[in-house]
Amino acid sequence: DADVTQTPRNRITKTGKRIMLECSQTKGHDRMYWYRQDPGLGLRLIYYSFDVKDINKGEISDGYSVSRQAQAKFSLSLESAIPNQTALYFCATSAYSGGIQYFGAGTRLSVL
């Protein structure tokens, strides 16, 4: 079983819909991250969390929100999806700041 699991793997939704992407991990790490990947733009950090009560905005948090339900679970929500949020989304974990990040398989999201 994967250490970092993302669901769903693929999602197509319509403009204005609320959507949640989920991430769970079995690595026992405190730190979790949400990134989006767009061609030519690399990885951009959306939100990160260092424990259940420590949630921080990344460089592109507008239009997104997160919830850290437990050490192992970190969800990303798009409150009202728009087409330019079409991207590949990755969740990652690490044991400490500056440490190796372990990635999930990604969620490919299309907003029509």
Partner 1 sequence: AQSVSQHNHHVILSEAASLELGCNYSYGGTVNLFWYVQYPGQHLQLLLKYFSGDPLVKGIKGFEAEFIKSKFSFNLRKPSVQWSDTAEYFCAVNAGNNRKLIWGLGTSLAVNP
Which residues sit at the interface with partner 1, rule CB under 8 A?
33, 40-45, 48, 50, 56, 58, 90, 92, 97-106
Which stretches of the chain are DSSP H helices? none
Closer residue to partner 1, CB minimum distance, 15 or 56: 56
- Judge whether 59 and 3 are in contact, CB under 8 Å: no
Cis peptide leading into residue 39 (ω within 30°): no
Least CB distance from residue 65 to partner 1, whole Å? Answer: 19
Least CB distance from residue 80 to partner 1, whole Å? Answer: 27
Buried b (16+ CB within 10 A) or exposed e, 27-41: eebbbbbbbbeeeee
Tokens encoding 15: 């403009």
Closer residue to partner 1, CB minimum distance, 20 or 43: 43
Least CB distance from residue 105 to partner 1, whole Å? Answer: 5
Least CB distance from residue 36 to partner 1, whole Å? Answer: 12
